Structure 1
Amino acid sequence: MNRICLCLPTNRACSATITALHAEAGYAARRFGADVRLLILDSADDRTRAAHTRTVAALPREPGVRVHHLDEEAQRDFLRRAVRAAGPAEPDRLLRLMLPPAVSYGACTNRAFLLAAALGCHSVHRRDSDSAYQVHAGQPVFPVHHELPWLGRPAAEATAAGLCTDLGPALTHRPVSLAGASFIGELSVDIGEMRQLDEGVYHDVVGLWAPAGASPRERRELVEESFTGAGTTPFTGDRATLALVDPMRVDMCNIAIHQDVYERMPLPPATDTIGSDYFLTHLVHDATLPGILHNRHIENFYTPERRTDAGFLAYQTRFVKFLLSMLYFHHVYDRMAAEGDRLLDDRQHVRADRIIASLRDSTRLDTAENVWRLDRVDTAYRKLGGRYARFAERLEPRREQLLAEARQDIEDFALLAGTWPALVDAARRTAPGPGDR
């Protein structure tokens, strides 16, 4: 039986999402005979977490579904035991990278990867707490419908069964390593107000995540497709295609990744940085591993916290740190694209050593490009005025710190990637602990 990990990392109230995710887990068990481990990684405050506990307790028993609800203390206990079993040189640093005190989209998913290994799962299917399922003909549109049938199997089996394909014949022997779709609704990054205030400033700022040498046309095209997902058109019927999935076409609230990928390479553990959880989508694409791109898009919405002054400040900081991270990731992505299928060994497994070497090389890059980015952000935000100008004022004394943090994030990623195989092996031998029902 195929055991999967359907995962929800959260730090906010999301009882409705937990209930909906449990329904998707039941669908996976009934429709595909899957053994589903529904994993809720709960970093919310005590009151919110208590409400989640009551929600989990009220879920109906579903054959083939087991729920694991772990608060941060339970997660830390599991990680501490796994790290100790792995025996790394810097256990305390590694533990901080896996469970940092600040928000980290990559770290929370890395925890899911290790817990999936501990639970004996073959794939991780991630959803987010600020999203919901579409409804069509009175039924929820569950992405797992396209994720489960072929993940981990040779692409040729899917094409033989009639799945539409854009793959060349030379790639069909490789395993389907990713399945994903995008979202409809609000922008995935909370910068819609910026576009409403000044379209030109919006283009200037969003264009900063392109490589410094990008042409005006390349920068403009990137801005036009950035953070918009699949637009606003609702689901009307299924479409799915085997392909080398473009990372710009999938969202981490709507993705499934096979263990042969995430057990060999983690995600960047950077804190207070959006986009840190997309690295594996680039790796799967550049290593020429097949994926499935489908159209069961999830509905994205903004929680009230984002609308507060504190939420605005936190989110804009994460956005700026994302822009600074691109100095390093563009370098690594270019290297990965040049390597292509040389990133795979003769068993079609990812060769993490080549990626780690590129990460370490990138830390020697001149930071002048990032100084330029910060200058452009400062000019743009001051032009917008209001709370954007106040944010620019607060950002100015942190410039050197932010530049240093962007480089340190890559060094931390390289360190974690180097110890990852030992961590995964240790996780397989580590009990997840309490929190399941």
Structure 2
Amino acid sequence: MRRVCLTLPTDRACAATIRAVAEEAAYGARRFGVEVRLLVLDSSDAPVLAEHRKAVAALPPAPGVIVHHLDEDEQRILLREVIARSGVAEPDRILGLLLPDRVSYGACTDRAFLVAEALGCTSVHRRDSDSRYQYLDGEPVFPLHHELTALGRPAADVAGLVSRSRLDPACAGRPVAMVGGSFVGEMSVDVAEIRRLDPAVYEDVVGLSIPPGYPEIWRRNLIDESFRGAGTAAFTADRTTLTSVSPTRVDMCNIAFDREVYGRMPLPPATDTIGSDYFLIHLVHDARLPGVLHNRHIVNFHTGERRSEAGFLAYQLRFAKFLLAVPHFDAVYAGTREAGDTLLDPEGHVRASAVAGLIRTGTQVDRAEHTARLDVLDRSYRALGGRYATAAELLAARRDRLLDEARRDMEEFALLTDAWEALTHASRPHDRTEPLHDSVKGIA
């Protein structure tokens, strides 16, 4: 039986989301006859973790669904076993990259990839704690439907199952590597506030995320579309496209990858950096691997923590680190776009060594570029005043540290890429001489 992993990484209260994602898991098992491993990777503090334990224990049994709820201690035990079995160099450093003591959007998903490998899954389907499903005629609209319909199948076989195909015929023999949608509802709450307070400052700040070289009219359109997902239109009917999916059209709260992608390449483990988990979306696109774009968009909302002063400052730090990472990733993506099909081996699989070389090239960004970006943020936030001036002070106090981390994050991504295939192989059941650790035994 086909086995898939539906994962929800979280570090905040989301009992309602756990229940909703469990409903999606039950739907997938019932509708497609697959075994769904619902994986909750929980980095919450003790009181919230206890709430989540109760929520998981109260989930109604569903045929074909097995739930795994792992706190960080349990995740660490599994990771230590996998790292030791893999024989990779610098095991403690690798563990620190996979399970850092700070927020990492890429690392939490990398952990999901490794657990999925340990569970024998063929795909990973990711959701986020601050998201809900749309409804049509009183029923939730689950993205898992399109993900299980298409993922891993030859694109030529999927062409008749979608609303339209815009895929290059030369790629029709390749399997669908990614299926994704976006979100509807609120855009990023803090970025939205900047836009409301001063559109010119918004253009200056968000413009730092746009690669250089775009004609001005395109640049303005990209700025206008950034951080907005799929807008606010409600779901009325399915629209699916077989294509090389543009990274600007999907979101990591609504994404699924075939294991032939994440089994070979990890996500960047950068800490406190929004957008660091989008790397595989770009890689799938640039390597011309087929994907399906759908409109079963997740409903985005912001938790109380995101609206607090502490949450505001934490986001501004993560946003600043994202803007410092952009020149590095732009350099890598320029390389992957130029490489195209040559990123794949003769069997059509991603060549991690080729990508690692491009990542190392991407570390070579002039420090002056980063300094200029921090100068724009400092000037912009002080002009906005209020709590943005407070954020400017925070960034100024951490300026040297932020500049050092920008390059080190890419170097560590290259290091993890070098170790990744050994880690995924060591995770798999057929490579294991001992039973899977008790921490990953699930609840049926």
Q: Is this a same-fold pair by TM over 0.5?
A: yes
Instruction: Please state how far the C-alpha of 1:212 moved relative to its aligned partner.
Output: 4.2
How many angstroms apart in 1 are the aligned matches of 2:294 and 2:161?
A: 16
The verdict on how the C-alpha distance between 1:153 and 1:216 changes in structure 2, with shifts beyond 3 A counting, is same
TM-score of the aligned structures, taking structure 1 as reference length: 0.98
User: What are structure 1's unaligned runs of at least 5 residues?
Assistant: none
How many angstroms apart in 2 are the aligned matches of 1:235 and 1:208?
A: 32
User: Cα deviation per residue 1:115-166 (whole Å; 9 max; x = unaligned)?
Assistant: 0000000000000000000111000000011000121110001114465211
Determine whether 1:360 maps to 2:365: no
Instruction: Please state how far the C-alpha of 1:217 moved relative to its aligned partner.
Output: 2.9
How many angstroms apart in 1 are the aligned matches of 2:197 and 2:126?
A: 34
The residue matched to 1:191 in structure 2 has which SS? Answer: helix
Match in the other structure for 2:110: 110
How many angstroms apart in 1 are the aligned matches of 2:150 and 2:323?
A: 35
Cα RMSD after superposing both structures: 1.2
Match in the other structure for 1:431: 436
Match in the other structure for 2:29: 29
Determine whether 1:228 maps to 2:228: yes
- Please say if residues 162 and 241 of structure 2, whose CA atoms lie closer than 8 Å, have aligned partners that are also in contact: no
How many angstroms apart in 2 are the aligned matches of 1:276 and 1:34?
A: 31
Aligned residues: 437
The residue matched to 1:68 in structure 2 has which SS? Answer: strand
The verdict on how the C-alpha distance between 1:378 and 1:426 changes in structure 2, with shifts beyond 3 A counting, is same
- Please say if residues 151 and 258 of structure 2, whose CA atoms lie closer than 8 Å, have aligned partners that are also in contact: yes
**Which residues of 2 match residues 293-308 of structure 1 at below 5 A?**
293-308=293-308
Determine whether 1:99 maps to 2:99: yes
The residue matched to 2:439 in structure 1 has which SS? Answer: coil
Give structure 1 regions of 4+ aligned residues with deviation exceeding 6 angstroms: none
The residue matched to 1:66 in structure 2 has which SS? Answer: strand
Instruction: Please state how far the C-alpha of 1:399 moved relative to its aligned partner.
Output: 1.6
Match in the other structure for 2:257: 257
- Please say if residues 229 and 251 of structure 1, whose CA atoms lie closer than 8 Å, have aligned partners that are also in contact: yes
**Which residues of 2 match residues 185-264 of structure 1 at below 5 A?**
185-188=185-188, 190-264=190-264
Q: Give the partner amino acid of 2:6.
A: L
The residue matched to 1:383 in structure 2 has which SS? Answer: helix
How many angstroms apart in 1 are the aligned matches of 2:437 and 2:341?
A: 35
Q: Give the partner amino acid of 1:393.
A: E
**Which residues of 2 match residues 172-183 of structure 1 at below 5 A?**
172-183=172-183
How many angstroms apart in 2 are the aligned matches of 1:74 and 1:433?
A: 9
**Which residues of 2 match residues 264-279 of structure 1 at below 5 A?**
264-279=264-279
How many angstroms apart in 2 are the aligned matches of 1:389 and 1:215?
A: 32
User: Cα deviation per residue 1:148-199 (whole Å; 9 max; x = unaligned)?
Assistant: 0121110001114465211121110011000000000111463111111111
Determine whether 1:292 maps to 2:292: yes
How many angstroms apart in 2 are the aligned matches of 1:280 and 1:167?
A: 19
The residue matched to 2:78 in structure 1 has which SS? Answer: helix
Q: Give the partner amino acid of 1:166.
A: R
Instruction: Please state how far the C-alpha of 1:364 moved relative to its aligned partner.
Output: 2.2
Match in the other structure for 1:83: 83
How many angstroms apart in 2 are the aligned matches of 1:237 and 1:66?
A: 30
- Please say if residues 85 and 426 of structure 2, whose CA atoms lie closer than 8 Å, have aligned partners that are also in contact: yes
Match in the other structure for 1:334: 334
User: What are structure 2's unaligned runs of at least 5 residues?
Assistant: none
Q: Give the partner amino acid of 2:357.
A: A
Determine whether 1:310 maps to 2:310: yes
How many angstroms apart in 2 are the aligned matches of 1:247 and 1:194?
A: 24
Q: Give the partner amino acid of 1:45.
A: D
Q: Give the partner amino acid of 1:11.
A: D
Instruction: Please state how far the C-alpha of 1:306 moved relative to its aligned partner.
Output: 1.1
The verdict on how the C-alpha distance between 1:81 and 1:189 changes in structure 2, with shifts beyond 3 A counting, is farther
The residue matched to 1:278 in structure 2 has which SS? Answer: helix
How many angstroms apart in 1 are the aligned matches of 2:341 and 2:412?
A: 26
The verdict on how the C-alpha distance between 1:254 and 1:341 changes in structure 2, with shifts beyond 3 A counting, is same
Instruction: Please state how far the C-alpha of 1:315 moved relative to its aligned partner.
Output: 0.4
Q: Give the partner amino acid of 1:168.
A: D
Match in the other structure for 2:399: 399
Match in the other structure for 1:167: 167
Determine whether 1:13 maps to 2:13: yes
TM-score of the aligned structures, taking structure 2 as reference length: 0.96
Determine whether 1:66 maps to 2:63: no
